[in-house]
Amino acid sequence: MNKGIVSNLLLEDYNLLVKYLEGNTIRKILDCTETHIALLLENDIIIKFLHFEDEIIFDVELPR
Protein backbone atom coordinates (compact mmCIF):
# COMPACT_ATOMS: atom_id res chain seq x y z
CA MET A 1 0.00 0.00 0.00
CA ASN A 2 1.29 3.43 -0.87
CA LYS A 3 1.66 5.60 2.23
CA GLY A 4 0.70 8.61 0.11
CA ILE A 5 -2.93 7.49 0.04
CA VAL A 6 -3.26 6.94 3.80
CA SER A 7 -5.08 9.76 5.58
CA ASN A 8 -2.93 11.69 8.05
CA LEU A 9 -5.60 10.92 10.65
CA LEU A 10 -4.95 7.19 10.19
CA LEU A 11 -1.17 7.21 9.70
CA GLU A 12 -0.37 6.10 13.27
CA ASP A 13 -2.85 3.21 13.01
CA TYR A 14 -1.51 2.29 9.57
CA ASN A 15 2.08 2.18 10.84
CA LEU A 16 1.06 0.02 13.82
CA LEU A 17 -0.69 -2.48 11.53
CA VAL A 18 2.32 -2.55 9.19
CA LYS A 19 4.62 -3.23 12.15
CA TYR A 20 2.69 -6.29 13.32
CA LEU A 21 0.97 -7.64 10.18
CA GLU A 22 3.26 -7.13 7.21
CA GLY A 23 5.28 -10.23 6.42
CA ASN A 24 3.43 -12.44 8.92
CA THR A 25 1.12 -15.31 8.12
CA ILE A 26 -2.28 -15.89 9.70
CA ARG A 27 -2.03 -19.19 11.57
CA LYS A 28 -5.65 -19.38 12.70
CA ILE A 29 -8.91 -17.43 12.73
CA LEU A 30 -9.85 -17.45 16.41
CA ASP A 31 -13.25 -15.80 16.13
CA CYS A 32 -15.40 -14.38 13.36
CA THR A 33 -18.83 -12.77 13.62
CA GLU A 34 -20.73 -10.04 11.80
CA THR A 35 -19.01 -7.36 13.88
CA HIS A 36 -15.54 -8.67 14.76
CA ILE A 37 -12.71 -10.99 13.80
CA ALA A 38 -9.69 -12.20 15.77
CA LEU A 39 -6.61 -13.52 13.96
CA LEU A 40 -3.69 -15.48 15.43
CA LEU A 41 -0.48 -14.74 13.54
CA GLU A 42 2.47 -17.10 13.12
CA ASN A 43 4.44 -15.13 15.75
CA ASP A 44 1.66 -15.64 18.37
CA ILE A 45 0.39 -12.06 18.10
CA ILE A 46 -3.40 -11.74 18.10
CA ILE A 47 -4.99 -8.99 16.02
CA LYS A 48 -8.64 -8.19 16.74
CA PHE A 49 -10.83 -6.05 14.48
CA LEU A 50 -14.20 -4.72 15.66
CA HIS A 51 -16.78 -2.90 13.56
CA PHE A 52 -18.52 -0.39 15.83
CA GLU A 53 -21.08 1.95 14.29
CA ASP A 54 -19.09 3.77 11.60
CA GLU A 55 -15.59 2.83 12.82
CA ILE A 56 -13.24 -0.11 12.59
CA ILE A 57 -11.32 -0.55 15.81
CA PHE A 58 -8.35 -2.88 16.16
CA ASP A 59 -6.37 -4.23 19.08
CA VAL A 60 -2.97 -5.92 19.11
CA GLU A 61 -2.30 -8.54 21.80
CA LEU A 62 1.38 -9.41 22.13
CA PRO A 63 2.47 -12.86 23.33
CA ARG A 64 3.21 -13.15 27.05
Residue spans per domain, the chain: 3-61
pTM assigned to the model = 0.80
7-63 pLDDT, tens digit per residue, is 888 889 999 999 999 999 999 999 999 999 999 999 999 999 999 888 899 999 999
Residues 6+ apart with CB under 8 A from 2: none
The DSSP-derived string for the chain is: --GGGS-GGGHHHHHHHHHHHTT--EEEEEEE-SSEEEEEETTS-EEEEEEETTEEEEEEE---
The answer to whether 14 and 6 have CB atoms below 8 angstroms apart is: yes
